[in-house]
Structure 1
Amino acid sequence: MGPSLAVGVLERGHAQRDRGTPPRSLRTCWVCAWPRAARPPSARPFCAGGATGARHLQTPSPALGKAERWPWMRAKVPQGSGASPGAVGGAQEQWERVCGPWLKRGPKLLPENLQKNWLREFYQVVHAHKPHFMALHCQEFGGKNYEASMSHVDKFVKELLSSDAMKDYNRARVYLDENYKSQEHFTALGSFYFLHESLKNIYQFDFKAKKYKKVTGKEIYSDTLESTPMLEKEKFPQDYFPECKWSRKGFIRTRWCITDCAFDLVNIHLFHDASNLIAWETSPSVYSGIRHKALGYVLDRIIDQRFEKVSYFVFGDFNFRLDAKAVVETLCAKATMQTVRAADTNEVVKLIFRESDNDRKVMLQLEKKLFDYFNQDVFRDNNGTALLEFDRELSVFKDRLYELDISFPPSYPYSEDSSQGKQYMNTRCPAWCDRILMSHSAKELILKSENDEKIVIYDHIGPNVCMGDHKPVFLSFRIAAGAGKPIANVHKCCVVQ
């Protein structure tokens, strides 16, 4: 497993600026990534029995003060509330445009060489889209023995905050859920937000005071996030996924206001498929039902009556999987199935699908953590889009969530062999786990075209490079100028209350 990235950008116009006329759109781009981290020798999986096989990143000890853990941040500027967000207006408001790569899945802290690959590809996207507002959402951020790898987390955070590629980001907010000793609260989520120096008048919502505060300086919050008023964090109840004795799945929500446009950014991590064999038994699988319940809970929570309703973007590791039973029946339509059972319990431990002829060649072997199909090209040809008909989990939320058309290969599970940038591991059926979703009101903010230029792009990063077991995915789009005004008028999103 690994972190999830979201990058948002706010930038001024180019050709329009040179001519002295305001741009007609706000440009936004979202990026998602889920690279897998190498687990330090002393680290242990969170779930009992190591069911996930995940490798975990560690964060600095809470016993240390922030200045000791993050020495380069000692001179941070405290967050304050300056002029009212409503001060953004007139020509300045029309002049600015939002470009936001919202990165959905970012790198778990990877081995040094893999982390370098990931950051290089990430920085290329930042350079290409010139983001001015960037959000990085991470999952599986921590572990039982996180002291063993705290230096890796420290190095990763320092790299993001001080690298030459990020030198123009003079404001930042970092929220790390590192309180791993609190089983009832720990989510292993981390959210990073970076603001370009040219971005003026951006505000973050204080959920306790119920008002927006102007964002200034750089701040890191790495202690208990439950007491941090600038976000909402929840962990799903344990009974949602009883197979895992210590599940970390949950979500973190922040709210932002830029040029009279308010929106929520939700960092989410849903439940995985614990067993390929159980996932294969029914259509849809029992795990699909668990994810449905958890995602419904999140959506209900962010639109309840406690706060004004605004547009929202939800991105992270949804763990959406293809309908396993339907996929196997299609891929092995002409095969015969052999069932292998454990001698002591008579439990099914393996399924073998063989061709009826052709010397009964093995087409697929299925075990709890094995999905070994003889021809991986089916997942890569035409970017695997022929299999999208089996990607059905989002359909139950079609009235609440929107996603642009997918035209990239399944984002998981890629090989972590540095020489196999396109190869999938044979642990799970490849699937589009990493997604960027939005409310229908957020969809209406997107400008579909401008001067025949392709301005909406939903794609992946590092197609030929080893990026970890999840490929980053990004969505780049523009928001029509003034699109936020109706929302601001209705929801008073840019008024300090």
Structure 2
Amino acid sequence: MDGEHTKLLLVTANVGSIFEDPEHMLKIWLKEFLATVQEMEPGMVAIHCQEVGGKNYEASMQHVNQFVKAMLGSDALQKYDRARVFLDEDYTAADKFTALGNLYFIHEGIEDVLIYDFIENKFQPVEGREVLSGNIENIQIKEKAKYPQNFFPEFKWSRKGFLRTRWSLNNCVYDLINIHLFHDASNIVALQKTPSVYCENRYRALAHTLQRFDADQFEKVPYFLFGDFNFRLDLHTLLKDLTEKTDVNEIRGKKNQISKLSYTDANSKVVLTIESKYFDHHERHNEVFSNKDKMLDKYDKELEAYKDKLYEYSINFPPSYPFSEDVNDGLSYMKTRCPSWCDRILLSHSTKDIIFTDEKHKPQYHIIGNDVCMGDHKPVFLLLWLKKGKATVSPSPELSQLPMATEVIVPSTQVKISEVDTTKYIHIRQNGTSARVFRETSV
């Protein structure tokens, strides 16, 4: 640990596809992520996951538990003696379920760490390791919201929302907010205009979120907003430039709607094909979208609408989505969507006051797993150093002294409280659903 500054590692990862192939992809993902933590040795690791459990959440629940247990039991995280893991797992609550997962690990070298209770409006000490899962609506050390359906009127169902926690690390206070905004459902619709209808939907949700933070009753502190924003390249403008010297052939389907676009060059060779869920720049696909020449930067416009509220470090990595899900291919993009920087780590302007930077402490903003398969989204990380705060934050004096265990046990949701060893874990039932609280300390 740096005596004056705290190294903070922020990671955002849409992990939906790795739960579709837990035998291979999940193991690769964990190996690469944990190697990154070992290499960087941060004082605090904050991982914001989206689509935890994948598309078929009910069937994948066991894999989520394995995912968390593998992290907690890994050699790379053994010196992180305090942890708070939030898993929004109650998929039966359709009006509240977000499939978000916030995982936080604190290194033993950090002496002073507190987390905020949003109901009691005060900080409490962080001791031991806790996994808060299942129905987490009544957990007070987080704020969570799912976006109203009218934000995404074209869609019947969505898991999109945010999950916020507030921390005091060496008296430096900040919020960590996990967010998931809606995707582009159709390439054909997305290219119709600038900004696209999907971009407008995302703007409505994110502007609402930022206004909510501005107007709520809590003290205003610097914040890191990181997750799957689903920001996309301006497809309307990009296509104009990519197809400037081509002819287009439109194929129409039901109700005379365009179902396919084929662009051909002067030799009648197809160079670009677009369908609702297909996007192929053929021979130039990986070359163009690797963005080695920074050509795509000017089409990455969605963040511009929030520049008065948010900023981002320079992006020097290729679009984070959609990468191939072939476990033997970590470099190619799938031919489903136009590759884009969906996964971002954004900061409020006030974070400039708490981040330390000099020649030896330069923020690093990049992807994890450059050349290995990490699922369709590459995790994006930001490594930086926090200044120590000057003011002392007083913790809540009423911290409950629940028993601590020496190992993590994943109980069945059917286990009755009378049947479990409460020195190893606490099993809570809330509103008829299961919320599990694991407690662990090293002995």
TM-score, with structure 2 as normaliser? 0.85
Residue of structure 1 equivalent to 2:272: 364
Partners in 1 of 2:14 and 2:56 — Cα distance?
A: 22
Tell me the CA shift for residue 470 of structure 1. Answer: 0.8
Partners in 1 of 2:307 and 2:211 — Cα distance?
A: 15
* Cα deviation code 1:111-166 (max 9, x no counterpart): 22211211111112101110221222121124786442222112111101111221
CA contact (8 A) 2:13 2:379 kept: yes
CA contact (8 A) 1:402 1:443 kept: no
Would you say 1:347 and 2:257 are equivalent positions?
yes
Q: Specify whether residues 121 and 373 from structure 1 end up closer, same or farther in structure 2 by C-alpha distance, changes over 3 A only.
A: same
Partners in 2 of 1:436 and 1:167 — Cα distance?
A: 26
Matches of residues 48-197 of structure 1 in structure 2 within 5 Å? 57=19, 110-142=21-53, 146-197=57-108
Tell me the CA shift for residue 289 of structure 1. Answer: 0.7
Tell me the CA shift for residue 454 of structure 1. Answer: 5.5
Would you say 1:33 and 2:13 are equivalent positions?
yes
Partners in 2 of 1:495 and 1:215 — Cα distance?
A: 10
3-state SS of paired residue (1:120): helix
Q: Specify whether residues 494 and 392 from structure 1 end up closer, same or farther in structure 2 by C-alpha distance, changes over 3 A only.
A: farther
Q: Specify whether residues 195 and 454 from structure 1 end up closer, same or farther in structure 2 by C-alpha distance, changes over 3 A only.
A: closer
Q: Specify whether residues 114 and 142 from structure 1 end up closer, same or farther in structure 2 by C-alpha distance, changes over 3 A only.
A: closer
Would you say 1:477 and 2:384 are equivalent positions?
yes
3-state SS of paired residue (2:64): helix
Residue of structure 2 equivalent to 1:271: 182
Residue of structure 2 equivalent to 1:385: 294
3-state SS of paired residue (1:281): coil
Tell me the CA shift for residue 462 of structure 1. Answer: 1.1
Residue of structure 1 equivalent to 2:402: none
Partners in 2 of 1:149 and 1:29 — Cα distance?
A: 28
Partners in 2 of 1:135 and 1:475 — Cα distance?
A: 10
3-state SS of paired residue (1:477): strand
Residue of structure 2 equivalent to 1:81: none
Give the percent of matched residue pairs that are identical in Structure 1 and Structure 2. Answer: 47
Residue number among 184, 200, 208 corresponding to 1:289 in the alignment: 200
- Give the gaps of 5 or more residues in structure 1: 1-11, 14-22, 39-56, 58-108
Partners in 1 of 2:184 and 2:11 — Cα distance?
A: 24
Residue of structure 1 equivalent to 2:230: 319
Tell me the CA shift for residue 34 of structure 1. Answer: 2.9
Aligned AA (1:366): I
Residue of structure 2 equivalent to 1:309: 220
Q: Specify whether residues 230 and 348 from structure 1 end up closer, same or farther in structure 2 by C-alpha distance, changes over 3 A only.
A: same
Tell me the CA shift for residue 448 of structure 1. Answer: 2.6
Partners in 2 of 1:325 and 1:381 — Cα distance?
A: 18
Residue number among 328, 334, 339 corresponding to 1:419 in the alignment: 328
Partners in 2 of 1:190 and 1:243 — Cα distance?
A: 26
Partners in 1 of 2:195 and 2:55 — Cα distance?
A: 34
CA contact (8 A) 1:256 1:263 kept: yes
Q: Specify whether residues 147 and 25 from structure 1 end up closer, same or farther in structure 2 by C-alpha distance, changes over 3 A only.
A: closer
Aligned AA (1:31): V
User: Which one has a larger percent strand, Structure 1 or Structure 2?
Assistant: 2
CA contact (8 A) 2:16 2:53 kept: no
CA contact (8 A) 2:16 2:52 kept: no
Partners in 1 of 2:362 and 2:291 — Cα distance?
A: 25
Tell me the CA shift for residue 27 of structure 1. Answer: 2.7
Q: Specify whether residues 479 and 194 from structure 1 end up closer, same or farther in structure 2 by C-alpha distance, changes over 3 A only.
A: closer
Residue of structure 1 equivalent to 2:418: none
Aligned AA (1:267): N
Partners in 2 of 1:145 and 1:256 — Cα distance?
A: 33
* Cα deviation code 1:411-438 (max 9, x no counterpart): 0000011222110001000000000000
* Cα deviation code 1:258-313 (max 9, x no counterpart): 11111000010001001000000001101111111111111112222411100000
Would you say 1:247 and 2:158 are equivalent positions?
yes
Partners in 2 of 1:117 and 1:152 — Cα distance?
A: 14
- Give the gaps of 5 or more residues in structure 2: 398-443
TM-score, with structure 1 as normaliser? 0.76
Q: Specify whether residues 128 and 316 from structure 1 end up closer, same or farther in structure 2 by C-alpha distance, changes over 3 A only.
A: same
Q: Specify whether residues 473 and 241 from structure 1 end up closer, same or farther in structure 2 by C-alpha distance, changes over 3 A only.
A: same
Q: State which drifts further: 23-32 or 121-130.
A: 23-32
Aligned AA (1:352): S
